Structure 1
Amino acid sequence: MCATACLSVLGQPKVVAYRTAGIDDRVHSLQVESSRGFLYPPVIDLDGEDFIVISFDLFGDDQQDLSYRIIHCNANWVPSQLSTLEYMNGFDIQQLYDWAYSFNTHRSYVNYRLQLPNDDVSFKVSGNYVVEVFPQNRPEEPILYACFSVSEEAVKVFCEANSRTDMGYSGEFQQVSFRIARENYDIVNPAGDLKIYVMQNNRLDNMAFVSRPQ
């Protein structure tokens, strides 16, 4: 099932927040995974050896010429102010080459696969990223969005989850506490300098924003 991927942010309908989702009804089995395994969140280290794998099926008998572009986003998954030259190496729009026809299936489809970074694209900065996939020469008609993050270890974060909360002890609720070891990284105003989100099983649709870290 395909879901709407662009959401209004803070009551501003003209600003969109991206989510991993298929836009075209022919898109199925969309996955965004780290090369470390499906149990890990779709996050890779800047200049690290791991990579992101995006895969999906496009229902139909024939292979489609597809292209993609990469968008850098802020903490709210809204496009940032950085230009393409500032956040990545490579051309703005790239062609999707890796595909394979289905075999012995009840319904015909073509499977597409994209690995990032690759020989054509690499990242210059950390942050949240979105891949838009669209028919060749039709960038205004995206068929899917795929979200992932690139990190760099500026600080160390220690996190703990506990089922003993102010709301009960049954295990239905969990309390998350964390500590940041900043060493040589200056954090003068935690409420303004930090953007902290808590996610359930890497879900972006219900992530909680910690507005007043102490």
Structure 2
Amino acid sequence: MRCSSSFLYNVYTLMSVCPSCPAGMSPPGSFCPWAYGLGLLLVLLALLTGGCATSENATSSPEEPRAPRALLAPADSTVRTVQLYRGEDERALPVLSMQGGAPLTLEFDLLVDDGRPLSVYFIHADRTWRRDLTPSQYMQSFASDRLLDYRFSRSTEVPYVHYTYEFPNDSIGFTVSGNYIVRVTEQGNRDAVLFERPFYVSEQEAAGDLELEALRQPGTARAPLRPTLRFTPPDDLQGNPYGYTVCFARDVMLEAPRCSTRPLLNAQPQLGFELDREAAFAPEIPALELDLSNLRTSIRIARVDRQRRPPRVVLDPDRARVLEGEPAAVGGPSVIRDALRGVSDGELSGDYVDVQFALVPPDAVPVQGAVRLNGPVAPEGVPMQWDAQAEHYTATLRIKQGLHAYRYETTDAGLQRVLQRASLRYARQYLTFVYYRDARVGTDRLLQVQTARPPR
């Protein structure tokens, strides 16, 4: 006889921690005999009414192939080159540890002539990015802070103001782990949003072993990878195998992980979580590298027009059948300071340029579906237009000097197959996020974030 994991978890929560036990019987949050008896009654009713299936006909609790994306406020048109990373490494993931260590750094530009103080707010969300708690429930001190560190660009064709902010700090601290959103607004006006970005606060209390199994399939050069995580829950959660969700992501796709809520119980107290075969990560079309640290002709840059303001950089067209660019070394957000090491204060001296991308489809003819430029240079995606004279798709973006990554995506099945055949590779890294739905705090705690490299 077997019940669904979600049913058992709900009953367990009721039986073990009762927030509303009748007055005088037990204090909130402690063991409640009344709730324990009610939980046993619910299990008995489930057995009698078929709410729990026998082992012969039980079906697995459903997987969540993809978790919802973080719904962020649209960015203001003046906002450019938002970076959010841990410590001093621009490539580092925006994961803050409650165990201590390096803070997160937020950097961005406003394409304006005059700088001004701004405000920053912090919003907690559950694992589905539903904004759930009030600031008093997760902030250690203040709910917002002032953003006063801003400097003007130096001798650039396009003037801008560069902002830098580090947290936690003396004014900002977090008491609850989980998914978070940082919101930057006009000073003192929470609703005058300039942009939002997601980040994570992790307890780092459930380290485990992440394995990547190659699911071999006939006729495929690279098999899909199915991740499996095995970990031991922290001491305060021992004895309850339910309420966990483990999400797996790859490279920069942190906002669209694939999740499992079904624990493997064959090695308790250690728990295991894996994706269904259908949800395994297939090899992907990699992001391509764009190096704008030096504005001069190169293997990737066909020409630079410095007579325009700002300068115009025309890239050699990418050909769908053979994507000749190298896989992006950044593997994530744009890198500015490290890419401009030979330039004093590269975050202030780096110029903005108009970059023209081009993709040549098979036989140099337009396809039926839409073609978009995507990746860190265009997080929300930019439509590409067909240029009949040049016989390729094109799009132009204003990008800051540095090291960037981009990729193409399309709704045309034929072009998609061509792009995949030309360049499929494994992602550079895979990540796991271990969540626990804790009734005591009313949200999903983030117990652990860790990474693993794929097989070569």
| TM-score with structure 2 setting the length | 0.40
Instruction: Please give the alpha-carbon distance, in whole angstroms, between the structure 1 residues aligned to 2:91 and 2:200.
Output: 15
Does 2:137 match 1:86?
yes
> Residue 174 of structure 1 aligns with which residue?
225
Report if the CA contact (8 A) 2:217-2:223 is conserved: no
Q: In proportion to residue count, which structure has more strand?
A: 1
Structure-2 change in CA distance of 1:205 and 1:122 (3 Å): closer
User: Pairwise mapping of residues 188-203 of structure 1 onto structure 2 (< 5 A)?
Assistant: 188-190=240-242, 193-203=243-253
The structure 2 residue matched to 1:204, chosen from 232, 236, 254, is 254
SS at match of 1:49: coil
User: Pairwise mapping of residues 29-68 of structure 1 onto structure 2 (< 5 A)?
Assistant: 29-35=81-87, 37-68=89-120
The structure with higher relative contact order (CA 8 Å, sep 6+) is 1
> Residue 380 of structure 2 aligns with which residue?
none
Instruction: Please give the alpha-carbon distance, in whole angstroms, between the structure 1 residues aligned to 2:203 and 2:129.
Output: 18
Aligned AA (2:95): V
Report if the CA contact (8 A) 1:22-1:30 is conserved: no
Which stretch of structure 1 is more off in the superposition, 165-174 or 121-130? 165-174
The higher radius of gyration belongs to: 2
Structure-2 change in CA distance of 1:68 and 1:120 (3 Å): same
Cα offset, 1:28, TM superposition: 0.7
C-alpha distance after superposition, 1:154-192 (max 9, x if no partner):
322211224x215566336222111112363325243xx
> Residue 198 of structure 2 aligns with which residue?
147
Instruction: Please give the alpha-carbon distance, in whole angstroms, between the structure 2 residues aligned to 1:32 and 1:19.
Output: 17
Aligned length: 196
Cα offset, 1:87, TM superposition: 1.0
CA RMSD of aligned residues (A): 2.4
5+ residue gaps, structure 2, are: 1-63, 265-456
Aligned AA (1:97): L
The structure 1 residue matched to 2:127, chosen from 67, 75, 86, is 75
> Residue 188 of structure 2 aligns with which residue?
137
Structure-2 change in CA distance of 1:117 and 1:207 (3 Å): same
Aligned AA (2:256): N
The structure 2 residue matched to 1:27, chosen from 71, 76, 79, is 79
Cα offset, 1:90, TM superposition: 2.6
The structure 2 residue matched to 1:126, chosen from 171, 177, 187, is 177
The structure 2 residue matched to 1:110, chosen from 161, 165, 169, is 161
Instruction: Please give the alpha-carbon distance, in whole angstroms, between the structure 1 residues aligned to 2:230 and 2:88.
Output: 25
Cα offset, 1:51, TM superposition: 0.9
5+ residue gaps, structure 1, are: 1-9, 11-15
Q: In proportion to residue count, which structure has more helix?
A: 2
Cα offset, 1:36, TM superposition: 6.0
Report if the CA contact (8 A) 2:178-2:202 is conserved: yes
Does 2:197 match 1:159?
no
Cα offset, 1:153, TM superposition: 2.8
